[in-house]
Chains A and B, each alone.
Chain A
C-alpha cells in the first residue's frame, strides 16, 4: 500500500494519473460521441428510434442517399471554395500584418494586441455586424466600393446567389485573420535576427531573404496555421446562421451547415451523421499534416 502511495507521490504513478485524467476526459467527451456518430451513420435513425442504441444497420445506405442528394455536389463545391478562400485570405492578410508588425514602430505591440478583438467576438455578433456592412441598400461596403468606382450598382451580397457565399467568406476572413497573424508573429519572432544579417552580408536582398530564410524557417508554423485554419473553417457555423442561413437556394450552403440542417431541422440524424463522418475524415487528414509539420520543426 505504501508503495502505491509513494509511487503516486514521487514516481510513475503520478504521471499515469495525469495522463489518465486527460485520456478519460477525451474519451468521454470526444471519443464516445465520435464513435456514436460513426455508428449512427450506418444505421436507420428516425424520431422513434432516437432514444435507443439498438437501431437497424443499413450499411452504406445513408452514404448513398447523401451522395445522391441533388445539392450534394454544389454543397461540396461551396465547402471547398469556402475553406480555400477563407484560409487563403486569412493567411495572406495575417502574414502581411505579422510582417508589418515586425517593423517595431512606436505602439506596434498595442496595435497588434487590438487586432485580437476580432477573435474574442462571438460569431453571431460578428455575423450581425457584417449583415449591416454587407447590406445591399445601406451597407458600408457597397458605399465604399461605389465611392471608389470599383462597382457601379449596389451588390446584394446576402441575397444574390453569386455573392452569398462570398459574403460569409469575407466575414470569416475578418474573423480569422488575427489568429493567423498572432501565430505567424510568434513564428517570425523565433527566427534569430543574425540569420537575416548573415544573409544580407551573403548578398541577399529583402525578397531573397524572405524566400530563402523566412519562408523555410516558418515551415512548421505555416503548416500549423493552415491545418488549424482548416479545422476552424470547417467548424464555422455561426456566420452562416447569422448572415445567409445557407441560402438563397443553397448557394451558400456548406457541409457543416448542411449536416446541422439535416439533424436538427429535418431530424434526419442519420444523414447529418453521415456528412459529419465525411468531415471527420477531412479533419483527420489536416491533423496528420499538422502533427507532421510540427514534428519536423527546424531550430538552430
Chain B
C-alpha cells in the first residue's frame, strides 16, 4: 500500500439550483480500502459517487484521485470504473464485447483483449456465457458481467451504485459475499453506495453514514454500531432499529428515569448532571428478559413474532419498544415482561441536538 490516499475529498459542495445536495464533504479513502456510503434515499450518497465518476459536476471543494485533482476532468479520463444499479450493459453486444469494450476503445490488439476477457471471465464465472447477449442472461449473470467490465480495466477505483438492489434476497446475500471475496483478492479501492445498512456493515472496511448531504459519521462498521455519534446513526445502523426513550438523569447522576409507564429507573453507565433531560438508546438485542429484582423495567407485550432462530417481542406504545430474543420464548401477547440491560450497553443522547453524550 502506498502512503498516499487513493481518493481524497476536501470540502466538497454540490448545489442543484437552490437545493444543497452535498455539504462540505471530507472523506479520505486509502488505497485498497472498501468504503460504503450508506444513508436513506435522497441523502446524497449517489450524487457523491456520480461526482467521483465525473458524471455530475461539483460546485466547490477539491476532489483528488491518486493524487491528481479531478475537478472538471471528464469521466473517460478519470480511470475509474462504475457498476450501475441497472448494470448498463450494452444490449447490442455479446458478453465478450461488453467486457472488452474499454480495451477496444484503446485499440488494444484483439488477442490481448480476448485473453484479458477470458481471465476476467474465469474470475467471475462467465466462461460459458461469453457469446451470449445481455438479454439472454439472468440477473446475477448480468451483475457479474457488469463487475467483469469494471475489473478488466484495472482502474484506480471501483464505484458501485447500489449494484445488488435489483436482485432477489437470496442472490443478494450471495453476491454480497462474492463482491467482498473479489475485493479481498484484487485489493482494489472500492466505493460502494447502498441504502442497506446490513450490506454496508458486512462488506465495508469503512462505513460513511450520510443524511441530507452531510456525513453524519464515518468509521469502522462495529465502531459505528458501538459508538454512534448521534441518534440518526444510532437508529440507522443495527436491525431492528435502536429503541429511543426520553428520560431524566436521577439524583445519583448514574441512572435515569424513563418516560415509560411506572417511570422505571435504569443505570446509564456514566455520570451526568442530575436532572438533565436525555434520550436513552437501548438496542433491541441488548435488552434481556429478566424477573424479580433484576428487571429494571416492565412492559406489556403487544406482539410476538418468531423466525425460528430469533423472536421479536414488541410493546406498542409511546414510544414503541422492541426486544430481540435469541431462540424461542414462551412470552405471549398480553403478558407483562421484565427487562434488564447492562449499563455499558445504554446509549445517552442530547434530545436537543441528537448528539451522543
Residues in chain A within 8 A of chain B (CB atoms): 192, 194-195, 197-205, 208, 212-213, 216-217, 219, 298-300
Write the nearest CB–CB distance from A79 to chain B, whole angstroms: 34
Which of A192, A204, A217 interacts with B88 by CB under 8 Å? A192
- The 9 A-B residue pairs with the shortest CB-CB distance in the complex, in nearest-first order: A300-B91, A198-B88, A194-B88, A202-B102, A200-B75, A216-B92, A203-B76, A298-B92, A203-B105
Contact B55–A217 (Cβ < 8 Å): no
Question: Can you list 15 A-B contacts with CB-CB less than 8 angstroms, sorted by A residue number?
Answer: A194-B84, A197-B84, A197-B88, A201-B76, A201-B80, A202-B81, A202-B149, A202-B153, A203-B105, A205-B76, A216-B92, A298-B135, A300-B89, A300-B134, A300-B135
CA distance A248 to B73 in the complex (A): 60
B74 (CB) vs chain A CBs: closest residue: A200
CA distance A192 to B55 in the complex (A): 15
Residues in chain B within 8 A of chain A (CB atoms): 53-55, 74-76, 78, 80-82, 84, 86, 88-92, 101-102, 105-106, 133-135, 149, 153
CA distance A200 to B76 in the complex (A): 5
Contacts of B90 in A (CB 8 A): 195, 198-199, 212-213
CA distance A202 to B134 in the complex (A): 17
Query: With A216-B92, A299-B91, A300-B134 in contact, is A201–B53 under 8 Å at CB?
Result: yes
Write the nearest CB–CB distance from A85 to chain B, whole angstroms: 30
Starting from the known contacts A201-B53, A212-B105, 17 additional A-B residue pairs (CB-CB under 8 Å) come to A194-B86, A194-B88, A195-B88, A198-B82, A200-B54, A200-B55, A201-B75, A201-B82, A202-B149, A203-B105, A204-B76, A212-B90, A217-B91, A298-B133, A298-B135, A300-B91, A300-B135
Contact B101–A202 (Cβ < 8 Å): yes
Write the nearest CB–CB distance from A261 to chain B, whole angstroms: 46
Query: With A299-B135, A300-B89, A300-B134 in contact, is A202–B84 under 8 Å at CB?
Result: no
Contacts of B153 in A (CB 8 A): 202
Contacts of B134 in A (CB 8 A): 300
CA distance A212 to B153 in the complex (A): 18
Write the nearest CB–CB distance from B35 to chain A, whole angstroms: 18
CA distance A194 to B153 in the complex (A): 19
CA distance A213 to B98 in the complex (A): 11
CA distance A192 to B85 in the complex (A): 13
Contacts of A192 in B (CB 8 A): 86, 88
Contacts of A208 in B (CB 8 A): 105
Write the nearest CB–CB distance from B239 to chain A, whole angstroms: 30
Contact B105–A202 (Cβ < 8 Å): yes
Contacts of B78 in A (CB 8 A): 201
Write the nearest CB–CB distance from B131 to chain A, whole angstroms: 16
Contacts of B54 in A (CB 8 A): 200-201
B152 (CB) vs chain A CBs: closest residue: A202
CA distance A203 to B105 in the complex (A): 7
Contacts of A201 in B (CB 8 A): 53-55, 75-76, 78, 80-82
A217 (CB) vs chain B CBs: closest residue: B92
Write the nearest CB–CB distance from B48 to chain A, whole angstroms: 16
Write the nearest CB–CB distance from B19 to chain A, whole angstroms: 19
B55 (CB) vs chain A CBs: closest residue: A197
Residue from the set B53, B74, B91 with the largest chain A CB neighbour count within 10 Å: B91
B97 (CB) vs chain A CBs: closest residue: A212
CA distance A208 to B74 in the complex (A): 15
